Chains A and B, each alone.
Chain A
Amino acid sequence: MPKKLKEVLADAGVSMENEAGGHAPKSLTDREVKMAPHPRVEKLRDVFMQTLSSANNEFPYWYTREYFQHDNEIPVVRRAMALKAAFSHSTPVIFPGELLVMHKAPFFRGSFPMPWLSEGFYMAKEDELYQDALKRGATSVDEHSKFGQGGGNVVKSFGKVVSIAGKFGMRQEEVPGLLEVARMWVGKSVDDLGHKYEQMVPGYETKEAIMRNVVCMFDSGFTLPQGREVINYFYPLSLGFDGIINLAKEMKAKVAGRADGDGLTGMNRLYNYEAVILATEGLQAWVRNYAKEARRLESIEKDAVQKAEYKGIAERLEWLEHNSPRTFIEAFQMIETMHLAVLNEDAISGMSPGRIAQILFPWFDQDIKAGRITEDEVIELLELDRVVKTSIDCFASMGVVGGVLSGNTFNTVSCGGLQKNGNHACNRLEYLLLEAGMRNVMPQSTLAVLYDEKLPEDYLLLATECIKTGGGYPAFMNNQVGMEFLKHHYGPEGMDIEDARAWAIGGCLETSGCTWKPITLNGTTYWIPGGAGQPTSVGVHFISMPKVLELTLWDGVDQRTGERVFKAHGKKLATFDELWAQYKLYWQEAVHVLDLTNNIQHDVWRKNNMAVINSYMKPDCLDKGHLINELGYRYNATYNVESAGTITTINSMAALKKIVYDDKKVSLDEYRVALKDNFGFKTAKEVNSFSLADQEKREDGPGKWDKLHFMALQAPKYGNDDAYVDNILLDWENFFCKDCYNYESLNAKPLYACQISVSTHGAMGSATIATADGRLAGTTFADASMSAFPGTDRNGPYALLNSASIWDHSMSQNSQLNIKIHPTAIQGEEGARKLLDLTRAYMRKGGFHVQYNIVDSKVLKDAQKNPQNYRDLMVRVAGFTQYWVEIGKPVQDELIARTEYEGV
């Protein structure tokens, strides 16, 4: 029987147990706080739990049919015509018990492909495009991406249901139609057109090598062209659909035939307003069809209560088809409708509703005062919203949905923060929002508290109670650090202190530029925040830092595939400084070529597939007459560079510095041979575990690398308040964050750093050989950007916080720190206070983000063995919460392995 690494180390007197600061009880420990949702919510949640991710061809069919009928139309008008046809023909489906209605597609958890973005994926096994796709490298990531094998994932075909990409189920009867539609987009999709032109970028072959070898995770241009941003509901809430159309008609009359000093895009305003009208008419038809369905259901319903509810739904939709909302529930329905509308317009992951307790406050305030609604009814609606948001799927490629997103769609709601005038923003609805999150614990919307010293203590303590439900939320984001980043980065576009206060999280933890708009309701004016920036899901996503180090050590050649990625640097790497300098040069080469090729993909997107609905909702598009493609947004400098595997790389650099350069224990050549030989261990795939501790020694191995491997594992590790390694992190951050400003997006704005891992640490780890920190081939990287590698932070959580806050987090859009704590460590009121103190300490040190997994690792191990018993178990992965059974094994292994603090 081969020995596992943890057994090898135990023989040497070194523990690899993940418990830190004490020992957990031997028995399984459940979460401390458990609350029940309202009965109707529980019923709908039960439906969700049985629901499979389902896709159909209806939206793509009508979109494509209309699009190809208008060959010579102005692109933005043509796109709006296609959207109008698609929305107008979407089949309505309403389920008993729903109060907030409408769905992406005619299923409880429905979605659909968008072949106008990329058609090759759907045709992969049907068409010769598959071979072409292989050459392009786009499928490389898919091979390293794993979906969870349970929950709603349709991992295999069954009956008349065809599994697509191991995630979505599609009726057999729909597949021929999908393929027919997809064929029409061959050579015309963003993917195909972008590919045609990106090949003209000098150094394109390097880009392809980068993608094939999983140095970079995905092309954002045709996979997820929008997202990780904050939506803005202001115009639908204040004007309603008729008001938007009337405004666009008035503006058309003002701009028709006029350039108004802008010879390049001034004339385009006419077409843009025409597109706004067409798309909005499509939304009206969509709402109308739902209203009709509600009326039909009312007519056949025998149960009086249900009948009245259908009637109420119909009345609300009939009103909202034309008008702005009058009541809280109408306002809530309007934002649900617009949210789903935007998600149907494009492949989007991370469309955050923003600060909904502040957005909906005007209607809440007046309904409560007038006795039109009770707080209990409001909580029920907030609970229902969690069912709606959790049911949202995004249909994209396996590599993206599985390898990056773990099936999550990141509809993060932000809470807390400040008002326009600088006072804290914790109104009464903010408290109810947290309570709804505690009662109906579902992955979405995950909650993000914008932590500010001004937030009330009872609110922060309620937030810590919410964390004890084990839902993994809320996370804490540093309000002042976020504002500082925004003022610096968007200052040149006019970001001032008031707009900075409006910010919210887009996606899982992307700091996003927002603004305030005044809503006047029955004579009272309220300032509500909402998104005003372009997507931040765009740019260079994600570059594997450990892979760049591997390429640096081997003169530009990938050691897993043997393929050359970068030109040989030819250096001996005789000093640590030379190694570090060359690493940065390769990093810059990767960012440079990926920036250029991504710019082309996004440019193709904005020319033919630009956002219309999402765009016109955001200031200042309707005022200016320019949509996203003509920089109509207030803030357009949103393209970023995303890194992955930060801490694995920093630890590896520290190990090389210590063992090779400072102590001179072994030569770099010898170290390279050991890494290539995986320190004498099997690969993670052979072992079928992606956790370092579970790796097994090869039986043929004489143990020649044992000593070096031991030294590598014992070398200084990040997370222990050790300056030796933390200073390497400091140096990296000072380089990386500033270097991003050397690249230009297609909007002629500088890029910036984004430091989240999502699930890439699993997929990218799978494609990377052993690293100098002692991590073995194929195992996951350290998660997030500020989390310690599992089991290596041995000096307690406050030491980890010191390591993480060594650099200035306001230089980056974000940073990410995940901490796992055993439920017994924060029990009771005293425990809640300890958790808040820990959080506050990090925020005061300038840390940007911290989130907690309050879970017993033994429960996770049991869930991996017996998934059938844990359909509703949720875990915080990296910026998001997901059902355990819907997460792939590599990330499951990493979650189990994370250090578990037994005390704080």
Chain B
Amino acid sequence: MELMHHRDCRNFAAVDVAKGICHRTKNMVPADGDQCEECVATPKCKGCRNFTADKVRVELGVCEASTATPKFFAYPDMVALTCEMFREQ
């Protein structure tokens, strides 16, 4: 999974939607700031083998692990840290 921003990092504690505290440096960093070298990926749906992105509405997709009919939707940016169905790509 390609890391892009601080908010994709496991050590980013989101203070709010715009910024967070880096557990490594203890500094306040912007959520959309570029990743650093010590970044550790936070599991998100977009990095899960069970996630299939919608071909038209790319901001949405399907969780293939869903047992509902039809399968329940998911979206790429959702944090999957606590998801027992997460399978890293």
Contact = CB atoms under 8 A, between A and B. Distances in A.
A108 B15 CA distance: 5
Given A69-B68, A173-B76, A176-B59, A50 B81 contact: no
Contacts of A177: 59-60, 73-75, 78
For the side of the interface on A, what is the size category? Answer: 35 or more
Contacts of A47: 15, 21, 28
Interface in A96-115: 96, 106-110
Interface residues of B, number: 32
A176 B16 contact: no
Candidate in B14, B60, B72, B74 with the most chain A CB atoms within 10 angstroms: B14
Contacts of A160: 32
Contacts of B60: 176-177, 180
B17 A54 contact: yes
A263 interface: no
A93 B13 CA distance: 6
Contacts of B55: none
Contact of B82 (A88, A95, A170): A88
A481 interface: no
A171 B32 CA distance: 11
Nearest to B69: A69
Contact of B14 (A57, A90, A93): A93
Contacts of B66: 65
A153 to B, nearest CB: 12
A158 B19 CA distance: 13
A154 B26 CA distance: 25
A534 interface: no
Interface string A380-407: 0000000000000000000000000000
A300 interface: yes
B49 to A, nearest CB: 18
Interface string B57-89: 101100000111000111111110111000000
A735 interface: no
Is the contact region of chain A dominated by helix, strand, or loop, or is it mixed? Answer: loop
Nearest to A161: B17
Contacts of A161: 17-18
A91 interface: yes
Nearest to B81: A91
A173 B75 contact: yes
B79 A96 contact: no
A22 to B, nearest CB: 45
A197 interface: no
Interface string B9-37: 00101111111010110101001100000
Nearest to B83: A89
Contacts of A289: 81-82
A297 B23 contact: yes
Given A107-B16, A159-B18, A90 B78 contact: no
A53 B15 CA distance: 10
Interface in A267-320: 289, 297, 300-301
A170 B23 contact: no
Given A65-B66, A69-B67, A159-B32, A107 B23 contact: no
Contacts of B76: 173
B28 A50 contact: yes
A172 B67 CA distance: 28
A106 B24 CA distance: 18
Given A161-B17, A173-B76, A89 B28 contact: no
A699 interface: no
Given A65-B66, A176-B59, A50 B79 contact: no
Interface string A136-167: 00000000000000001010001111000000
Contact of A171 (B13, B17, B21, B26): B17
A109 B24 CA distance: 22
Given A65-B72, A173-B59, A90 B17 contact: no
Contacts of B14: 54, 93, 106-108
B79 A106 contact: yes
B77 A173 contact: yes
Given A109-B16, A161-B18, A300-B23, A57 B82 contact: no
Contacts of A173: 59, 75-77
Most buried by B among A158, A160, A170: A160
B68 A52 contact: no
A283 B61 CA distance: 29
A177 B28 CA distance: 28
Contacts of B11: 300
Contact of A95 (B21, B77, B81): B21
Contacts of A109: 15-16
B54 to A, nearest CB: 10
Given A65-B68, A177-B60, A177-B75, A169 B17 contact: yes
Contacts of A58: 78-79
A250 interface: no
Nearest to B68: A69
A724 interface: no
Interface in A713-730: none
A52 B20 CA distance: 11
A89 B63 CA distance: 15
Given A52-B18, A65-B68, A107-B17, A89 B82 contact: yes
A61 interface: yes
A174 interface: yes
A94 interface: yes
A61 B82 CA distance: 13
Given A50-B28, A52-B18, A90-B82, A176 B75 contact: yes
Nearest to B66: A65
Contacts of A50: 15, 19, 28
A107 B20 CA distance: 9
A173 B60 CA distance: 9
Contacts of B59: 173, 176-177
B61 to A, nearest CB: 10
A170 B73 CA distance: 19
A91 B79 contact: yes
13 contacts: A47-B28, A50-B28, A52-B16, A54-B14, A54-B17, A57-B78, A91-B79, A107-B15, A107-B17, A152-B16, A171-B17, A177-B73, A300-B11
- Sort A-B residue pairs by CB-CB distance and give the 6 closest, nearest first: A173-B77, A52-B16, A177-B75, A54-B16, A169-B17, A176-B59
Given A55-B17, A169-B16, A173-B75, 11 more contacts: A52-B18, A54-B14, A57-B78, A89-B82, A93-B13, A106-B14, A154-B17, A158-B18, A171-B17, A176-B57, A177-B59
